[in-house]
Amino acid sequence: MSYLYNQIVLFGDSITQFSHNTDNKGWGAALQNLYVRKLDVLNRGFSGYNTENAKKLLLHILPKKNNSIKSPKIYLFTIFFGANDAAISPSNQYVPLVKYKENLRQMIKIIKDSDSPYYSPDTRILLIAPPPLFEKDWEKFQEREGKILPRKLETTAKYAQTCVDLANELNIPVLNAWKLFMDKSTKTLTENNHSLSDFFVDGLHLSNLGNEVSKVFSKSFYVRVSY
């Protein structure tokens, strides 16, 4: 009989999807390496997705609690959305702030509500608030791609804070990527003459330096799931 490793599931948008890119020293790949032979780290990142898409997709990712087929336990489930929700209306990625918060709440409820078909009492949830972006680089990237998906730093900040507020309200662990990057960029700018731009390949997705910063993600996970 094959041995079933318990799992860490990384659920999010393109920032999660690209986290296993070893060319950019992705934080997901680093997490996989950290838990090799201990836990399987599954990447369930979906480029372009917001919380409205995610809450529907979640039902196809989670095992049902009455599933007769033996399956690995999900030890930790991360929910990392907000970068696309914070797109400026009328973008089809835009989700109003109130709805964003409610969508996050519903996803948590799907996992933690005992009446849910997907109830998993042993699964730990970690919310991750969206990081900042560098507007000028993102605008240039969009122009080259012939797309119009505007983002504003101050808008994304509101979504990050809403994610943190919900986590505190529900007493769920949260990793504030916004604060992590803003604090780190200020320090790095002072010490190494870097700017916030250096943390991203296109103003939104993480560069090598950005993934170096996000290795704190792995340390946060380690605290949550060490055994």
Closest CA to 51 of 11, 10, 89: 11
Query: Would 205 be classed as within a structural domain?
Result: yes
Q: Which of 91, 116, 197, 202 is catalytic?
A: 202
20 has catalytic annotation: no
Question: How far is the C-alpha of 207 from the C-alpha of 185, rounded, in Å?
Answer: 13
Q: Which of 14, 116, 197, 207 is catalytic?
A: 14
Structural domain range at position 101: 7-225
Q: Which of 19, 20, 85, 205 is catalytic?
A: 205
Whether omega before 90 lies within 30 degrees of 0, making that bond cis, reads yes
Q: Write the pLDDT tens digit of every residue in 4-50.
A: 889 999 999 999 999 998 888 888 888 888 888 889 999 999 999 99
For 133-147, the DSSP string reads --HHHHHHHHHHHT-
Q: Does 115 score more than 70 pLDDT?
A: yes
Query: Would 1 be classed as within a structural domain?
Result: no
Query: Would 19 be classed as within a structural domain?
Result: yes
183 has catalytic annotation: no
User: What residues contact 132, with CB distance under 8 A and at least 6 apart?
Assistant: 153, 156, 157, 160, 178, 181, 182, 185, 196
Instruction: Say how many C-beta atoms besides its own lie within 10 A of residue 141's C-beta.
Output: 17
The count of structural domains within the chain is 1
Q: Write the pLDDT tens digit of every residue in 71-114.
A: 889 999 999 999 999 999 888 999 999 999 999 999 999 999 99
CATH number of the domain that residue 142 is part of: 3.40.50.1110
Query: Would 118 be classed as within a structural domain?
Result: yes
Is this prediction's pTM over 0.85?
yes
71 has catalytic annotation: no
